[in-house]
């Protein structure tokens, strides 16, 4: 029988337990963490402002390495000028840049927005695709962005890992992976269901509670499961 040595609350007196018991404790720990997040964030939603799938996709694309607050400041005028992919596909690059120039990496994002709109018009008959593969075929849309869009708009069971989710999952010992993609796999395997809700719950928790530099540990509902206060970042 395999024996694992795990460190419990008294790190100077590790307890030797059977592998089967270790797996059971790990499973229960994950279940407890999941239940607590679903309880505290049962109505978790993105803070990006949008009214349809097209607007959500654009907001998510702009939010890469940028705050939701900043994105919400530029999108109203952008959506008014380009209410659909039809108008955006014909947009002048300089004009789009003017609308989003306060957003990080605005040059690249402006090019991606126009390219995305052109492909949607040509290959998808002006309709934003609603599956991961087709979404990821659009310019500027990676796996994380596609998962966020599908999870938020269609309640599909996808996990997405940004800096907040990465930090929280590592502080809670849910993943030891160094990349966002591998961390996504770890969380998907651990939680299995409610992934879209848990994604947004982790985002909000990381943004306002489990902050990078000054986490609010004294008032934390999962403090008993925290294994580190380090500021984990994906590589």
The residues assigned a catalytic role are: 144, 162
CA dihedral 193, 20, 232, 10 (to 10 degrees): 130
* Separation between Cα atoms, residue 120 and residue 47, nearest integer Å: 25
How far apart are the C-alpha atoms of 232 and 225, rounded to whole Å? 16
The helix (H) or strand (E) run that includes residue 18 is: strand 15-18
Separation between Cα atoms, residue 91 and residue 26, nearest integer Å = 52
CB 149 within 8 A of CB 201: no
Close Cβ partners of 86 (under 8 Å, ≥ 6 residues apart): 117, 121, 126
Give CA–CA dist 71/67, Å, rounded: 6
Which of left, alpha, beta for 105 (phi over 0: left; psi -120 to 50: alpha)? left
């Amino acid at each position: 029988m395999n024996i694992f040595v795990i460190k419990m609350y008294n790190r100077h007196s590790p307890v030797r337990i059977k592998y089967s018991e270790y797996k059971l404790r790990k499973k229960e720990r994950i279940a407890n963490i999941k239940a607590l997040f679903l309880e505290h964030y049962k109505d978790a939603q993105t803070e990006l402002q949008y009214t349809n799938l097209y607007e959500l996709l654009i907001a998510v694309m702009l939010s890469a390495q940028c705050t939701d607050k900043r994105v919400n400041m530029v999108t109203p005028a952008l959506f008014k000028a380009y209410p659909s992919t039809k108008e955006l596909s014909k947009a002048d690059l300089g004009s789009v840049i003017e609308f989003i120039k306060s957003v990080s990496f605005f040059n690249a994002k402006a090019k991606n927005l126009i390219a995305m709109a052109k492909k949607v018009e040509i290959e998808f008959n002006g309709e934003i695709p609603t599956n991961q593969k087709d979404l990821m075929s659009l310019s500027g849309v990676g796996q994380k962005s596609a998962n966020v869009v599908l999870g938020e708009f269609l309640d599909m069971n996808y996990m997405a890992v940004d800096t907040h989710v990465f930090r929280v999952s590592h502080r809670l010992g849910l993943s030891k992976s160094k990349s966002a993609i591998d961390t996504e796999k770890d969380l998907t395997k651990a939680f299995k269901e409610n992934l879209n809700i848990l994604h947004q719950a982790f985002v909000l928790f990381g943004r306002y509670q489990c902050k990078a530099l000054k986490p609010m540990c004294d008032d934390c509902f999962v403090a008993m499961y925290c294994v580190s206060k380090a500021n984990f970042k994906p590589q």
